[in-house]
């Protein structure tokens, strides 16, 4: 993930990061997912990189 983090203009949060539990929450409290990464994209390039 480090190569992606270097090109990302937004923020990348992964397990173990202090903000992870807040970042992984969705509006529906019945859903309790634990993704490997949460990406806050700032532009289309970030979105394309996150999808890859």
Domain ranges of the chain: 2-51
User: What per-residue string of b and e applies to 26-47 under the rule 16 or more CB within 10 Å gives b?
Assistant: eeeeeeeeeeebbbebeeeebe
The answer as to CATH 3.30.43.10 being correct for domain 2-51 is: yes
Q: What is the dihedral of CA 41, 44, 47, 51, to 10 degrees?
A: -170
Q: What is the dihedral of CA 5, 38, 15, 2, to 10 degrees?
A: -10
Asked if 17 contacts 36 with a C-beta cutoff of 8 angstroms, the reply is: no
Q: What is the pLDDT of residue 48?
A: 94
Query: Per-residue confidence at 2, pLDDT binned at 50, 70, 90?
Result: confident
Taking only the tens place, the pLDDT of each residue in 23-49 is 999 888 888 899 999 999 999 999 999
């Amino acid at each position: 993930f480090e190569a992606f983090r270097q090109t990302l203009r937004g923020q990348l949060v992964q397990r173990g990061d202090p903000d992870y539990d807040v970042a992984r929450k969705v509006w529906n409290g019945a859903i309790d997912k634990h993704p490997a990464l949460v990406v806050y994209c700032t532009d289309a390039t970030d979105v394309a990189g996150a999808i890859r």
